[in-house]
């Protein structure tokens, strides 16, 4: 036999399904109106754009490494949210921070728990480190705290909760988050992924940051990709106890956030008008779109209640989600069809500009009519 060793990915890596990014152009190459990635339809605020441009204009903008500690950005975040800057960590998108949590606290033989229809990165982050992903049952697409607690074992090391959740859009209340936290063993890191938290009203705040301020095993993550309109620059941040943050730093890439991205994010935090306008726009057109789609209930259309900048829309009638997806693409709109996440009956639709949202509603209506 041939004893030559061959190159073999670790079995847990081979078990990861290849990531299939959403399309942004039709089959004929025609650009589509993109309502598939929960980006800000109003773009980026003027202050962040200006800071980004100024940073890029510096003579050494490309030749020098960015600040590896993102010190000014961390200080700005800390001042804004009343936090200890030493306990803020910045990431290459919050995606990186979610991966760091798994890589720091879990490995082969351990379990990482999240709700069914959780954010797609959780499974990849678990498998990447050889841990076993465990999915708790949902409750009609919403987070079921009892199901999550029932799925905890002595192997559980990380629990991810996106709140509000993607792709369902649902929000667990402050009481539910507290009950979940209270039921977890102290050797579990509770990650509260608040990528969409800026879309919430004050009354909807889930209290995650308060928990992270006071508890030893809570890690809250946020992003500049959504309401701040900086998805291209890949900037996220997180907050946890000092011991957790210093452990995460051990495996973080040293220069993980670009220089212009740091500058843009600092300016974005100072642009409260842009954030407020984005939130108001979203609330108005999310309510409008939900009502339009709910009026198609005779076609089996159902809208899951959303606290985010997108709607999860179920097609339970004669015309399937896949058919609607394809017809929307023919009409010039790309939304997210979710067979890979176990919801082939659903489309996830980002709230766009007024014209995009009105156009999308009309296109869905036409798609159902045949």
**Residues interacting with ligand PMP, by CB under 6 A?**
38, 93-95, 119, 162, 166, 193, 195, 223, 225, 231, 236
How far apart are the C-alpha atoms of 42 and 281, rounded to whole Å? 9
Closest distance between ligand PMP and the C-beta of residue 166, in Å?
3
Closest distance between ligand PMP and the C-beta of residue 195, in Å?
4
Closest distance between ligand PMP and the C-beta of residue 28, in Å?
27
305 CB neighbour count, 10 Å cutoff: 14
Which stretches of 295-338 are DSSP H helices? 321-330
Of 96 and 144, the one with the shorter C-beta distance to ligand PMP is 96
Residues 6+ apart with CB under 8 A from 28: none
Of 166 and 357, the one with the shorter C-beta distance to ligand PMP is 166
Of 158 and 162, the one with the shorter C-beta distance to ligand PMP is 162
Structure tokens at 47: 């202050």
Of 127 and 299, the one with the shorter C-beta distance to ligand PMP is 127
CA-nearest of 104, 286, 267, 265 to 191 is 104
Of 193 and 271, the one with the shorter C-beta distance to ligand PMP is 193
Closest distance between ligand PMP and the C-beta of residue 224, in Å?
7
Closest distance between ligand PMP and the C-beta of residue 248, in Å?
15
How far apart are the C-alpha atoms of 7 and 99, rounded to whole Å? 25
Q: Determine contact, residues 299/321, Cβ cutoff 8 Å.
A: no
Structure tokens at 195: 């990528």
Closest distance between ligand PMP and the C-beta of residue 359, in Å?
23
- How far from the centroid of its chain's Cα atoms is residue 202's Cα? 20
Of 95 and 356, the one with the shorter C-beta distance to ligand PMP is 95
The residue behind tokens 């800000």 is: 40
């Amino acid at each position: 036999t041939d004893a030559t060793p061959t190159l073999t990915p670790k079995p847990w890596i081979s078990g990861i399904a290849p990531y299939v990014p959403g399309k942004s152009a039709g089959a004929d190459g025609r650009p589509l109106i993109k309502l598939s990635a929960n980006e800000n339809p109003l773009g980026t605020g003027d202050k962040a754009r200006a800071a980004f441009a100024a940073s890029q204009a510096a003579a050494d903008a490309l030749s020098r490494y960015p600040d590896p500690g993102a010190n000014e950005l961390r200080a700005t975040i800390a001042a804004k949210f009343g936090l200890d800057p030493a306990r803020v960590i910045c990431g290459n998108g919050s995606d990186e921070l979610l991966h760091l949590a798994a890589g720091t606290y879990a490995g082969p033989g351990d379990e990482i728990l999240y709700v069914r229809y959780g954010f797609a990165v959780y499974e990849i982050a678990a498998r990447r480190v050889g841990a076993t992903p465990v999915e708790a049952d949902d409750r009609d697409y919403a987070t079921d705290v009892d199901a999550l607690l029932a799925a905890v074992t002595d192997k559980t090391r990380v629990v991810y909760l996106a709140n509000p959740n993607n792709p369902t859009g649902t929000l667990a209340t402050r009481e539910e988050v507290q009950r979940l936290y209270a039921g977890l063993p102290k050797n579990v890191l509770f990650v509260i992924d608040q990528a969409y938290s800026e879309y919430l009203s004050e009354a909807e705040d889930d209290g995650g940051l308060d928990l992270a301020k006071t508890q030893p095993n809570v890690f809250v993550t946020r992003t500049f990709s959504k309401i701040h309109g900086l998805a291209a620059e890949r900037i996220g941040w997180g907050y946890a106890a000092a011991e957790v943050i210093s452990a995460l730093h051990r495996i973080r890439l040293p220069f993980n956030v670009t220089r212009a991205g740091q500058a843009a994010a600092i300016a974005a935090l100072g642009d409260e008008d842009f954030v407020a306008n984005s939130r108001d726009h979203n609330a108005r057109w999310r309510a409008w779109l939900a009502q339009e789609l709910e009026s198609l209930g005779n076609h089996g259309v159902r809208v899951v209640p959303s606290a985010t900048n997108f709607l999860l829309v179920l097609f339970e009638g004669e015309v399937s989600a896949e058919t609607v997806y394809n017809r929307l693409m023919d009409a010039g709109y790309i939304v997210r069809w979710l067979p890979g996440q176990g919801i082939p009956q659903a489309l996830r639709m980002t709230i766009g500009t007024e014209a995009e949202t009105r156009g999308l509603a009309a296109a869905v209506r036409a798609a159902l009519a045949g």
